[in-house]
Amino acid sequence: MDIREVPRAPFVRHPWERARFRFFRTVLREAGVLRAGARMLDVGAGDAWLAAQLVASGPPEVDATCWDAAYADPAQRARAAAASPALRLVSEQPAGTFDALLLLDVLEHVADDGTFLGALLRENARPDTAVLVSVPAHPALWGPHDLALRHYRRYSASALAELLAGAGLVRERGGGLFHSLMLPRLLQNARDRWVGAPQGSDAPPDGGWRGTALSAHLVELALRADTAVSRAAARAGVGLPGLSLWALCHPG
């Protein structure tokens, strides 16, 4: 979760975020990344929850470095450090190479995404490094939510493919993610277009879950079924549209 989204009071983690973690954990496991001694760099790690979950669910020897410019603020760094004492938190690009680079919903926050990605690969990747990327999909879905999160863009499948290829990355597999959430976002954008966005919609969103524990569980189960479709489609090489795009790559 982006640190700007973290509620100040204790909160329930959003089922979308839990389903997203489980999906990417499976992708990394199937790619052989979550192994003893593996070194991961989580770029734009936010509150570091996802990296902490990956370390906790992998072999004890998995090592994770979380890089986020927000950690230059001691208060923000302390909030991220609470996720796990096993994480290494840095506010500037670290030196050295890693077995895996995670760029999960990061590139849309960068003005010059191609230059940023190229510099990251030159400094932190080897030919055998796994690079896992996710971005918000479909420019036509652009709306107040993107503005609130300070996105520069949403990506078409062709735009993401061009970006990855331009950086010298070869896609192993990937596709759409969260297919069932496209219609709600379309309806939300239509409402904002015709009725107007709700007051305060340009403020940083609250990333916590506002419903009950039971509703969170049910929504997470539904989203996990959604992501199972994503995995099956990726294995079959079928491109299904979703609210997000993802790709597992390696330097070519």
CA dist 160 and 108 (Å) reads: 11
Residue 201 pLDDT: 47
Residue 38 pLDDT: 92
Please give the model's pTM, rounded to 2 decimal places. 0.89
CA dist 37 and 203 (Å) reads: 41
Q: What is the DSSP string of 10-73?
A: --PBPHHHHHHHHHHHHHHHHTT-SSTT-EEEEET-TTSHHHHHHHHHS-TT-EEEEE-GGGGS
Q: Supply the DSSP symbol for 9.
A: S
Q: What 3-state class would DSSP assign to 186?
A: helix
Q: Supply the DSSP symbol for 8.
A: S
**Tens digit of each residue's pLDDT (9 = 90 or more) over 157-188:** 999 999 999 999 999 999 999 998 888 787 87
CA dist 132 and 125 (Å) reads: 12
When mean pLDDT is compared over 10-24, 35-49, 75-89, 232-246, the highest value belongs to 35-49
- pLDDT of 221 higher than 80: yes
